[in-house]
Amino acid sequence: MADLKIDIGGLLLKNPVMTASGTFGYGPEFDDFINVSDLGGIVVKGTTLEHREGNKYPRMAETPAGMLNSVGLQNKGVDYFAKHIYPAISHYDTHILVNVSGSRVEDYVKVCEVLNELEGIPGIELNISCPNVKEGGMAFGTSCPSAREVTKAVRAVYHKHLMVKLSPNVTSIAEIAKVVEDEGADSLSLINTLLGIAINAETRRPVLSTITGGLSGPAIKPIALRMVWQVANAVKIPIVGMGGIMNATDAIEFILAGASAIQVGTANFLDPTVTIKILRGIEEYLDRHNVATVKELVGAMECC
Amino acid sequence: MKKVTDFHVVEVQHLSHDTFIIVLQGTEPVIAVLPGQFAEVEVPGSPEVFLRRPLSVHGCDPVAGTISFYVKVVGKGTARMSELLPGEKVSVIYPLGNHFTILEEGRVLLVGGGTGVAPMLMLANKLKKAGAEPVMIIGGRSAADIHISDAYHAVAEMHVTTEDGSLGVKGRVTDHPLLKEEFNFNRIYTCGPDPMMKALSAIAREKGVVCEASLENTMACGFGACLCCVVKTTDGHKCVCTEGPVFDTTYLENW
């Protein structure tokens, strides 16, 4: 039986299968379907300093091989999370990372200060790539100076694992990755959604209330693989890959491209048990290829 | 307890050119579904259809191991579903959402418009069994939209409205005398187009009774993970899939 354990920048995962923020709620939504503690880690819904109502309905459009969303970080704020949600999920025997977002650098900092105090939260995923909020979010992750500023400010106050989630809506994702690594990130997760539009030809109106939204699902997988590979060649810190992973083969492809672990996102909506199927599939692949540890497979794509 | 499980198609009963009932047989014991609950149904063999389709449960018989859905073809997903053949495998996530509350006495009004008729037979059965007296109005554009079997007449006092007057009272459901001078109900239960349900909500408010409406919404997951299917309530955005689909309409903003 292959060894599935993997160390991502000091965070030891029992296996490389995590869930992507915004696609897994806080975990209990999946209790009827799977044993959440079987996963390598979960990343809970984007959390901001203040309560946010999110964007107006409609927030979702189905597209060929994917979907657009513009939820807009609906959440009850970090204090509510710490008081009411955290106690209800801290029993999970897996790493719970909180995805942190905001409109201002000082907001990110305040959220991280609160999360620092929660013993059962070993790390955060700094979201500098949400495309669905008017201010902040993706704006931080699309230029090197602002990515540097927010990572630096958070690193100064946050002492546990700092994963930074990168936006694909940039000219060079490797440049952003290097800046974030310089500022002390422990790992990188990529990619967030790609900015897109869906239009209803009959009504001549955009489908989403926000006009643009974030594209996810298998449609974006080749782009995500390319970006994981580019970033893996540019930085030394571990990468958590995501973007259209629907099955174990997709997950293996991300690992071969250079990801140490993976996050499953949109696939959770189609099959709430998919994460466990992917986990079993990775195990089966490693055994079939006589690979003793997941680690050996990281970045093992053979180009010539 | 929700689960994701495989069913096999028993039959597709075509009621008209665009409306059908699909009956599925469980591969595992079937969970009893309550009136108003829904399921996320896979559309097999259709690469263009990425997401499951949220469908209100029309019938559920745990003894026979079957579940059925009343569906109107509105796009590629439902069109493909109408072509499914007996024996084809369909993955279903169910039972999802809350349900209509069941009164145990008094006259109650059930109003279904279009495919909003889907949960009404189950609801009427449950209400009658509990001791209430169900009266039902089914509304459509014309007689071709109205599909009422003997099972409806067996359980509820039935009324029909059609916009062209080809069956029952001419006009919309709200034009029916039962919703005007003859109104004598403890509660309104409704499922159908939003404008119809809003009009019923206004009547309920005027008469001082509760109106429970089952909302339809665009969903990605159906179980509270994606936060796509929100409706504006007096308490902020709520997911139709987990806080609904059935809402007391006084809780909905601008209703």
Q: What is the pLDDT of residues A200-251, one digit of tens each?
A: 999 999 999 999 999 999 999 999 999 999 999 999 999 999 999 999 999 9
What's CA A219's distance to the chain center, in Å?
17
A266 reaches B (C-beta below 8 A)? yes
Give domain limits for chain B: 3-96, 107-251
**Alpha carbons A296 and A110: distance in angstroms, whole number:** 39
Q: Fill in the amino acid letter for B22.
A: I
**Alpha carbons B247 and B244: distance in angstroms, whole number:** 6
Q: Do A23 and B4 touch (CB under 8 A)?
A: no
Q: Do B48 and A64 touch (CB under 8 A)?
A: yes
**Alpha carbons A24 and A46: distance in angstroms, whole number:** 11
CA distances from A49 to A52, A81, A100, A127 (A): 9, 10, 9, 13
Segment B233-253 shows an average pLDDT of 97
Kindly report the nearest CA distance between residue B48 and chain A, in angstroms.
6
State the pLDDT at residue A139.
82
pLDDT digits (tens, 9 = 90+) for A103-159: 999 999 999 999 999 999 999 999 998 777 766 677 899 999 999 999 999 999 999
User: Contact A56/A133 with Cβ under 8 angstroms?
Assistant: no
> Phi then psi for A185, rounded to 5 degrees?
-65, 145
In the three-class reduction of DSSP (H, G, I as helix; E, B as strand; rest coil), residue B67 is classed as strand
What's chain A's average pLDDT?
Answer: 96
pLDDT digits (tens, 9 = 90+) for B50-105: 999 999 999 999 999 999 999 999 999 999 999 999 999 999 999 999 999 999 99
A303 is catalytic: no
User: Contact A14/A24 with Cβ under 8 angstroms?
Assistant: no
DSSP A167: P
Tokens representing B92? 């279903």
Q: How confident is the model at residue A98 (pLDDT cuts 50, 70, 90)?
A: very high
Q: Quick check: B134 pLDDT over 90? A: yes
Q: Do B4 and A65 touch (CB under 8 A)?
A: no
User: Contact B207/B200 with Cβ under 8 angstroms?
Assistant: no
Q: What's the helix, strand, coil split of chain B in %, to 5?
A: 20, 35, 40
CATH number for the segment(s) B107-251: 3.40.50.80
CA distances from A141 to A38, A126, A224, A263 (A): 32, 10, 16, 19
B74 reaches A (C-beta below 8 A)? no
CATH topology for B3-96? Elongation Factor Tu (Ef-tu); domain 3 (2.40.30)
Among the partner-chain residues A53, A271, A272, the one whose CB lies closest to the CB of B237 is A53
Domains and CATH numbers, chain A: 6-54+72-194+217-297 (3.20.20.70)
Q: Which of B103, B49, B56 is nearest to A62 (CA)?
A: B49
**Alpha carbons B18 and A283: distance in angstroms, whole number:** 46
